[in-house]
Amino acid sequence: MFDIENGGKGYKAQKAGFLGKWLWIMFWLFIPSMIASVMVNENVSAMFPALYFPGEILQLICQIAYGALLLKVSEYDGRYKISGVILIIVTVLSFVFNYLFYDNDGLYLLALIPLGASGLVGEYFEYMAHSGVVADFDNVISAKWKKLWIWYIGSFAVFLLSVFAMFILSPVIGLLVMLVSAIAIIVVSILKLIYLYRTAKTFRDYRENDLDIMQDGFSGSDF
């Protein structure tokens, strides 16, 4: 029987095996998600219009699948569940609003405001959940997830600043600030992918080392 109190070794090994498996799948899900992002990019879709709708469908599937995986791993941290539910709802509503307000950019942007705010909340709970579950295995990675959230909210704040700058100061300044925010968001996305890889690898390495120790123990036992 696993010792589930105070993070017993058996419980930690079980936790590492479970999270190592599913976070690894979440990491690899980023690849089709990135492909979908390229397919729906304005410049790419302008040159290859036929890619836009398949890209939207692929993006929808990837986001919902990611949300489902967050729900799957919520067994070890309830914040994953909150993040997963928010992600699935925001993804579906964004897809619906995109076609519902196809001819009205103003209403579409207005509808995206609460969805964007909800997305921020979802990201927060995901980052904090990652930080929480890996804390007993690697304090450095745990701290990096918390710092990444600060970078994420900072990049979003710069984006909002660029919108205000575009209308209050000048379109040129606004576009320059928006470029900075776009670069910051890309950097944060890359760091999230790296940290997700390192988190999954931490769990997988712990589980593999634990199995090696168990095998060595059995081989050295006298029967």
Q: What is the pLDDT of residue 4?
A: 44
What global pTM score does this model have?
A: 0.83
pLDDT tens profile 93-117: 988 887 776 666 667 677 777 888 8
Q: Please, what is the average pLDDT of the chain? A: 83
Angstrom distance (rounded) from CA 68 to CA 182: 27
Residue 222 has pLDDT above 50, yes or no: no
Residue 216 covered by a domain: no
Please tell me the predicted confidence (pLDDT) of residue 9: 63
Q: Which residue has the higher pLDDT, 195 or 162?
A: 195
Establish if 222 belongs to a structural domain.
Answer: no
Instruction: Indicate the number of domains in the chain.
Output: 1
Q: List, in order, residues 6 or more apart from 166 with CB less than 8 Å away.
A: 173, 174, 175, 178
**Confidence band of 223 (pLDDT split at 50, 70, 90):** very low
pLDDT tens digits for 63-87? 999 999 999 999 999 999 999 999 9
Contacts of 180 (CB under 8 A, 6+ apart): 158, 162
- pLDDT value of position 12: 85
**What pLDDT is stored for residue 77 in this prediction?**
95
Q: What is the pLDDT of residue 85?
A: 97
CA distances from 202 to 85, 128, 129 (A): 26, 17, 15
214 belongs to a structural domain: no
**pLDDT, tens digit, for every residue of 158-170?**
877 877 777 777 7
Contacts 24+ apart (CB under 8 A), 31-35: 32/58, 32/62, 33/59, 33/62, 33/63, 33/66
On the question of pLDDT at 54 being above 80, the answer is: yes
First-to-last alpha carbon distance for the chain, in angstroms, is 22
Q: Given this model, what pLDDT does residue 210 score?
A: 58
Look at residue 211 in the predicted model and tell me its pLDDT: 54
- Report whether 188 contacts 149 (CB < 8 A): no
Residue count of the chain: 223
DSSP 51-94: GHHHHHHHHHHHHHHHHHHHHHGGGS-HHHHHHHHHHHHHHHHH
Classify residue 221: in a domain, yes or no. no
Within-domain flag for 83: yes
Residue 191 near residue 30 (C-beta atoms within 8 A) = no
pLDDT, position 141: 95
Q: Is the pLDDT of residue 6 over 70?
A: no
| 219 is a domain residue | no
Range of the domain at 125: 5-207
